Amino acid sequence: MKTLFFKTQIITILLLGFTAVFAQNDMKIPQNAVFYMEINGKQLNSKINWEKFNPFLKQINEKEKKASWNDYSKTGIKYDAIQYHYATVNDSVKSYNTHFTLDNKEKFQEFINSVKKKGQEVTRKNKYSYVDLDNDIFVAWNENRAVLSMISYQKPYRWDEGVYAVDSTDVAIDSAATAAIDGAYAEEVKPFDYKEEIEYLKDEVGYLKQNIKDNNTEILRIQKDIKYLQKHHKYPEEKIEPAEAIEDSTYAPKVEVMPPPISQDDYYEAEPYAPDSIYQKEMDSLNIEKFKIVKKLAEDSFDRYFSSNLNLEVPKDMLSFRDGNSDAFIYADYEKIFNQGIYRQLYKGFNFSSLLGKMYNSNSAYNLYFDKDKVRMVNHYQHKNEATQKSISEVYKGKKNKKLAALINDKSVGYYVMNINGYKYFDMMYSMIKEAGEAEYQKELELIVETMKIALDEEAIAKIAPGNGIFVLNELKSKNVEYTDYDYDDSYNEKEVKKTKDVMVPDFTFAFATENEGYWKRIFDMLVSNKEMSKKFSKDGDFLTFKDEKNKDGYLDQIFFTVKDGVVYLTTSKDNIKVQNQSDVSKQWMKDSAKYPLSGRLNIQKLLIGLDKEFKSKSEKTTLDILKKYVGEMYFKTEVNGQSIQTEMNYNIKTDSENSLMYFFDLFDEIYKTSLTHKSSATL
């Protein structure tokens, strides 16, 4: 019995051992991944109209003279499967990778053959095949999976020393080249003669002055030509003087008139600028070495993936805000983006690494939805330091102010409202500054923070501006302004001309709450009583008026200020602060503006209508008409959601497109076709 139990135990251990040997693990996303995205193919594929989309792609490909393909909806890629994308960054290597599923390997290989370089051979490995589509683009595939990798490599740059990190081979080549040049041009070194040097420098100054004079003369001549062409659409006709009669034609010189050379090449029989063959060889060598490096990196990545069970393992923290019903999910690690690679080296060179590193120590997750009548995006922002995240959340828990919401009306172009806690804002900044200190200076930094708290009276500052504010863009008005232009007669004599034009000026209101009206009234009184300020500021009842007579033809020549019922107003019109009749839609916006810490809307169509006069040419006006037909309205709201700051943004579409995804296709398709029409007209 004992022997049977022992044998059973041995067999079990061996079976488990073989299972462990032959088991394939998930392919893990690299630790230095800064970006991750999932494309919900099942949902997106059902929203794409391939009957419209496929001919459009073929048309662009043919127009750009790129590789053609019969049907982009049948490339062998399984479009209704989930696609995975991720990017990595470090000091020298940046990569972007896409994993997707195949439903027809033969069709996919046919597609790859149509886009790869002519004559480029496919490399066949044990478990997959791959080919380089370009010097930094590689694609690998097996029976049912494919991976696309874009990899770039650059030698690390040391900002602290200001030089590239080079290897000994480069140094040896440079030293040898320098020695050869020095030996070929070696000559007797003469003692330095300062008098000779002074004369040389004087000549150089004279040469530069003459250059400036010649350049200014040439600039003036060209400017006159431009003005003449704008007015007459041609150059002035040259006056040809009649040639004097030649008395003795026997001795008349026979001169063959040759046309002026077309370019510098006409002066030389041989090529004037022969390429530097040594330099070209060095560059080719460097490019080959760089290609070998990125190819090896791509191949190693392919080996790891196709040796796994072909499942991609993603860290749980990346997926904590993913919604399985979204069309696309995106995760961005800002801490890694700004603390790795060139960004880190950039601000490290300016001693900003600690402060900026702590500020960007965060991540964001985005869920994107292409609904029937709108595009919707939900963003979750989260700081990785719990204490800092808590401070940020407290800032977004401010008091509400309904007085500001009364400025909202549905006739406006847009608005932006904030209801944050100004007092807690100081705590957030103190927290970030305190956490940004280097370990050896931590005590000193804590002392500085404490001193700032003593010196600044946060409560008094918060009463001046508690954190409630609103900006309303009511409309864009046309204003006729005068400007100076220059005209030229047939003899290029310059003449100053006064002209007028219409410009669009904003009609807006900016207002914010205050618990200390007296402070702002004292500021207004000071502006009126000050000798210099009073030239532009004047009192008009309850309003303070700013008027700049010297800039009356500018965009903003008059602004009104006032304080009323705990609100400071800055506006372009006194009527803007009056309570206006509001529709049911604007009443809902009012409720949201008082409910959320941040909210706003922008009617893009009204904005474009207001900018109509800024579009001059025929093609610009045609594009504007298309945009006015398609563009809709944007709306967003931000609030604290658990341990994150959540922002929802909606873009409402106006047209009868099948859905908001095809809406963007219809818009781009119409603009593209219009541009082709304009090009054809210009050619004719």
Which range, of 102-111, 351-360, 622-631, averages the lowest pLDDT? Answer: 351-360
Using one digit for the tens of pLDDT, what is the confidence trace for 237-282? Answer: 765 555 444 444 434 444 444 444 444 444 444 444 455 566 676 6
Centre a 10 Å sphere on the Cβ of residue 167 and count the other Cβ atoms it contains: 8
pTM above 0.85, yes or no: no
Which range, of 55-69, 159-173, 220-234, 658-672, averages the lowest pLDDT? Answer: 159-173
Domain ranges of the chain: 400-421+467-596
Structural tokens at position 522: 């004292």
Which range, of 58-67, 375-384, 647-656, averages the lowest pLDDT? Answer: 58-67
DSSP structure class, residue 384: S
Structural tokens at position 184: 């070929």
- Of 679 and 381, which is predicted with more confidence? 381
Distance CA 79, CA 42 (A): 7
| Average pLDDT score, the chain | 78
Q: In whole angstroms, how large is the CA radius of gyration of the chain?
A: 35
pLDDT band at residue 507 using 50, 70 and 90 as cut-offs: very high
H helix or E strand, kind and range, residue 418:
strand 414-419
- Of 432 and 605, which is predicted with more confidence? 605
Which range, of 5-14, 392-401, 543-552, averages the lowest pLDDT? Answer: 5-14
Architecture of domain 400-421+467-596: 3-Layer(aba) Sandwich (3.40)
pLDDT, residue 680, reads: 58
pLDDT, residue 189, reads: 46
Using one digit for the tens of pLDDT, what is the confidence trace for 65-111? Answer: 555 566 777 889 999 999 999 999 887 889 999 999 999 999 999 89
Distance CA 442, CA 360 (A): 20
Q: Which candidate, 240, 479, 438, 227, places its Cα nearest to that of 353? A: 438
pLDDT, residue 630, reads: 87
Distance linking the first and last C-alpha atoms of the chain: 99
